[in-house]
Structure 1
Amino acid sequence: MVKEECKTMLDALNKVTACYRHMVISAGGTSDSHNLREELRKTRQKAQDLAVANRNKLTSVLKDKTITKEDRADYERLWVIFSTCMEILEVDMRRALELGQEFPINVPKKHLIQTGMTGGTSAVAARAMSVQNMKYEAETNLDLADLKDLEHEICQVEEMMYEMEMKVNVPQWTVEAKQDPGAELKSTVSIGASSVGAISLDENKSYCDPSKALAGVVFTAVLIVAIVLAVCVVKLS
């Protein structure tokens, strides 16, 4: 039951981490928006919550000296997968921080296009104190606060990974995989080859039908005659 629980929690972390990476790719692009930045914030927090739960569970299990050698090998494989998910999450969080700094979501386009000022001093001051500009300033502060939170969370992930290495010493190169490299690809190819072979057998059986063979000969003869006539027409013209 404990092993299945660890697998379920790790699968949830893997899915959330993949979802976060998919959304980070859209940051700074044409599909970027306030909703995307908010979903990024919620998703990375969910990933960190799952990471803490996975770390606590796997750490307690791997520290248990009573588990069998076979179970320990399985938990070590799960630990390696967990460590990889954490590394991917940290890389994507850093990428999100860089994109958030380079492409602030709250910068109005008019401030990027228009240059200079027109009108008297009072008019400029009135525009500067307008409700729209105040709202923009407030949203900018929220954006900067989220980036500061992201920087802090990146440091937390780094500390978590360091603590993991100190508490549970599981070098990745010592963990053996259950399957050979490319086993899944080989199985897929073998399935595809067997399917193709079955189709080929069915086609060979259909080719052995005398009526279909005769129809094929007649069709070939008609095609040859048509080609000859086309060549003759071209030469005569």
Structure 2
Amino acid sequence: MLKEECKALLDALNRVSACYHHLVLTIGGSSDSQNLREELKKTRQKAQELAVANRNKLTLILKDKSVSKEDKAEFERLWVIFITCMDLLEVDMRKALELGQEFPLNVPRRHLIQSGMSGGTSGVASRAMSVQNMRYEADHNIDMVDLKDLENEIHQVDEMMYEMEMKVNVHQWTVEAKQEPGAELNGTHSAGASSVGMISVDQNKSVCGLRKVLVGIIFTAVLIIAVILAVCVVKLS
């Protein structure tokens, strides 16, 4: 049961981290918006919650001396996968911070478009600029707060990973894989490729057979016509 729980938590972390990765790629694009930034914040916070749950459970199990050698090896493999996932999550968080700083959502407009508003030009411009600046400052402050929170969360992830390495002495290079590299791909695709190959070979054989039959029929027809023409020529002469 512990293995299944750990695998389920790790699978959930991988899914949320993958979702966060795809959201980060859209920062600064045409689909960037306040909704996207809020979704990014919710997703990364969910990923961190799952990371804490994974850390607590795996740390507790790996520090348990009563765990069998076989089970410990399996949990160590899950630990390595967890560490790798956290490394990728941290990279994406740093990328989101960098892109968020490069592409702020709201930029103050420095040029006003005359729209037929009544009043003196200076008065209209001053009123428009004051309202516009107030709105920009509010939105800009929201963005800055979120980026500051993101920066703090990156430090928290760094500290968590450091504490994990101190509490659990698992060297990644000592953990053995259960399968050869690409075994999952070879197991499915090789069978599929062989079946497709057999089908293509059978199809080629059938096509070649039909071609031979057609060539034989055409050759026979030409031969019969030639014989008939030769007989006709002999009789006419």
Q: Which residue of the partner structure matches residue 215 of structure 1?
A: 214
User: Mean Cα displacement is larger for which, 192-201 or 37-46?
Assistant: 192-201
Q: Which residue of the partner structure matches residue 235 of structure 1?
A: none
Could you tell me which amino acid in structure 2 is paired with residue 215 of structure 1? L
Q: Which residue of the partner structure matches residue 128 of structure 1?
A: 129
Q: Could you tell me how far apart the structure 2 residues matched to 1:218 and 1:59 are?
A: 78
Q: Could you tell me how far apart the structure 2 residues matched to 1:161 and 1:219 are?
A: 78
- The correspondence of residues 121-200 of structure 1 with structure 2, limited to 5 A, is 122-130=123-131, 132-200=132-200
Deviations along 1:51-83, one digit per CA (max 9) or x if unpaired, are 000000000000100011000000000000000
Query: Relative to 1, partners in 2 of residues 1:20 and 1:199: Cα closer, same or farther, differing over 3 Å?
Result: same
Q: Which residue of the partner structure matches residue 77 of structure 1?
A: 77
TM-score normalised to structure 1 length: 0.82
Q: Could you tell me how far apart the structure 2 residues matched to 1:216 and 1:184 are?
A: 46
Helix, strand or coil for the counterpart of 1:129? helix
1:208 positional shift: 7.1
| Pair 1:22-2:27 in alignment | no
Q: Could you tell me how far apart the structure 2 residues matched to 1:44 and 1:28 are?
A: 18
| Alignment RMSD (CA, Å) | 2.5
1:181 positional shift: 1.5
Q: Could you tell me how far apart the structure 2 residues matched to 1:34 and 1:191 are?
A: 47
Deviations along 1:162-184, one digit per CA (max 9) or x if unpaired, are 00000001110000000112222
Query: Relative to 1, partners in 2 of residues 1:216 and 1:32: Cα closer, same or farther, differing over 3 Å?
Result: farther
Q: Could you tell me how far apart the structure 1 residues matched to 2:204 and 2:36 are?
A: 55
Query: Relative to 1, partners in 2 of residues 1:203 and 1:124: Cα closer, same or farther, differing over 3 Å?
Result: closer
Q: Which residue of the partner structure matches residue 54 of structure 1?
A: 54
| Pair 1:42-2:38 in alignment | no
1:136 positional shift: 2.4
Deviations along 1:118-146, one digit per CA (max 9) or x if unpaired, are 943x444322322x432222111111100
Q: Could you tell me how far apart the structure 2 residues matched to 1:219 and 1:174 are?
A: 70
Could you tell me which amino acid in structure 1 is paired with residue 175 of structure 2? V
Q: Could you tell me how far apart the structure 2 residues matched to 1:89 and 1:181 are?
A: 23
Query: Relative to 1, partners in 2 of residues 1:75 and 1:124: Cα closer, same or farther, differing over 3 Å?
Result: same
Query: Relative to 1, partners in 2 of residues 1:102 and 1:216: Cα closer, same or farther, differing over 3 Å?
Result: farther
Could you tell me which amino acid in structure 1 is paired with residue 214 of structure 2? A
Q: Could you tell me how far apart the structure 1 residues matched to 2:52 and 2:127 are?
A: 50
TM-score normalised to structure 2 length: 0.82
Could you tell me which amino acid in structure 2 is paired with residue 103 of structure 1? F
Could you tell me which amino acid in structure 2 is paired with residue 34 of structure 1? Q
1:84 positional shift: 0.5
1:198 positional shift: 2.3
Q: Between Structure 1 and Structure 2, how many residues are aligned?
A: 213
Unaligned segments of structure 2, at least 5 residues: 113-119, 220-237
1:206 positional shift: 2.5
1:28 positional shift: 1.0
Query: Relative to 1, partners in 2 of residues 1:63 and 1:129: Cα closer, same or farther, differing over 3 Å?
Result: same
Matched-pair identity in %: 66
1:197 positional shift: 3.0
1:106 positional shift: 1.7
Q: Is the radius of gyration larger for structure 1 or structure 2?
A: 2
Q: Which residue of the partner structure matches residue 91 of structure 2?
A: 91
1:219 positional shift: 8.1
Query: Relative to 1, partners in 2 of residues 1:35 and 1:219: Cα closer, same or farther, differing over 3 Å?
Result: farther
Q: Which residue of the partner structure matches residue 3 of structure 1?
A: 3
Could you tell me which amino acid in structure 2 is paired with residue 24 of structure 1? V
1:34 positional shift: 1.1
Q: Could you tell me how far apart the structure 1 residues matched to 2:187 and 2:13 are?
A: 27
